[in-house]
Chain A
Amino acid sequence: MNQVGDLNKLHKKYFDRGFRVVAITAENTGVVKSKLISAKGAEYWVASDPGRATLGRFTVPGGRTGIPHMYLIDATGKVVGEGKPGEAQIEKLLEAVFIPDLGRDMHAKLKGAVKMYDKGQIGKAWAAAAKFAEGEDRTLAEDAKFLRTKAEAYGAHMQKFVEAGIADKDFDMVYDDIKAIGKDFAGMDVATWAADKKKELDADANVKNEMSAMKSFKKAAANEEKAGGKAKKMGPAIKGYKRVVKKYAGTRAAKMAEAALGRIGG
């Protein structure tokens, strides 16, 4: 089987379990449509990035450069491998993927709760199913318990994201996740946990420093984007990155700024 055939096979086989093939090229969309999708039948996700911004950002220590090459990313957003993985590697990573879909037909009386769940109102669905969980109708009770258990597992999964984000000092993401948990899982224990965690983070001076550092890094990164790869226009970006490295030494943003300076030659 050729390369496109292999990637199609992986993308389709594992799609429902949370796997995607994402292919990026510097060629324009017209070329991709004719030479990859029409001529070779690629069915996986493909993007055109003529400015090579993604490739430029994608410098992995010890990793290869050049085209073609592949990276495998796990469910927490970490690059865990390079080259073409086998299905054994993919299967192993998929064990950690949480599939939110209920994945089975539910009792008609749970229609409202299921609708809420499917809309992402997990806390409301969890509460709505409660009154059916202990009833005499065993099928209804089983389905209600199933929904509530799934909602709780979903909440635990989101909680893990927050904890991983804190460990990685990725506080922008952490605050986004905390906000989403508060809204989507309202009424559940995980929402209370998220509110407490926010208070704890708000009071932490190190977190504030990381957030300020990231804000400055993003300004520099925006200037890099504006420069469009032209060395003559990189001055503001280089200045910004250097400021982050100096002022916020030891932060995650400072490390990212150092990597950016290495990449653009600042």
Chain B
Amino acid sequence: MKKSLILLGVVAGLALPASADWKKLDGQKVPELTSNEWLNTGKDSPTAASLRGKVWLLEFFATW
């Protein structure tokens, strides 16, 4: 029994939960993307239009 509970905890831990600041929005249309250069995309330069049909997570970030 204890073993099963531990296993369940391990399995549940594999899925990432939402962060505390996660909130739903009303579904405004995504604006166009602008970039000087894309990295990790192969030859693709993604646009909002080319990403239609996909689910995507957009992060604005800085490395500092």
Report which A residues bind B (CB closer than 8 A): 6-7, 9-10, 14, 18-29, 31-33, 35-37, 42-51, 53-55, 57-58, 60-64, 67-90, 93-94, 97-98, 157, 161, 168, 170, 173
Task: Tell me, rounded to whole Å, the shortest Cβ–Cβ distance linking B23 to chain A.
Answer: 5
B interface residues with partner A (beta carbon < 8 Å): 15-19, 21-41, 46, 48-49, 51-63
Q: Which residues of B are found within 8 Å of A70, using beta-carbon distances? A: 57-60
In the complex, chain B residues whose CB is within 8 Å of the CB of A161: 52-53
Tell whether, in the assembled complex, residue A87 and residue B15 are in contact, meaning their CB atoms are under 8 Å apart. yes
Most B Cβ at <10 Å: residue of A48, A98, A168: A48
Partner of B27, one of A48, A79, A89: A79
Asked if residues A25 and B55 are in contact (CB atoms below 8 Å), the reply is: no
From residue B31, how far is it (CB to closest CB) to chain A in Å? 4
Complex Cα spacing A10 to B32, Å: 23
Closest residue to B24 on the A side, CB-wise? A81
Name the CB-closest residue of B to A91. Answer: B15
* Cα–Cα distance between A71 and B27 once the two chains are bound (Å): 11
Provide the residues of chain A in CB contact with B25, threshold 8 Å. Answer: 60, 62-63, 71, 79-82
Alpha-carbon distance A7/B19, docked complex (angstroms):
13
Collect the chain A residues with CB atoms within 8 Å of residue B49's CB: 77, 173
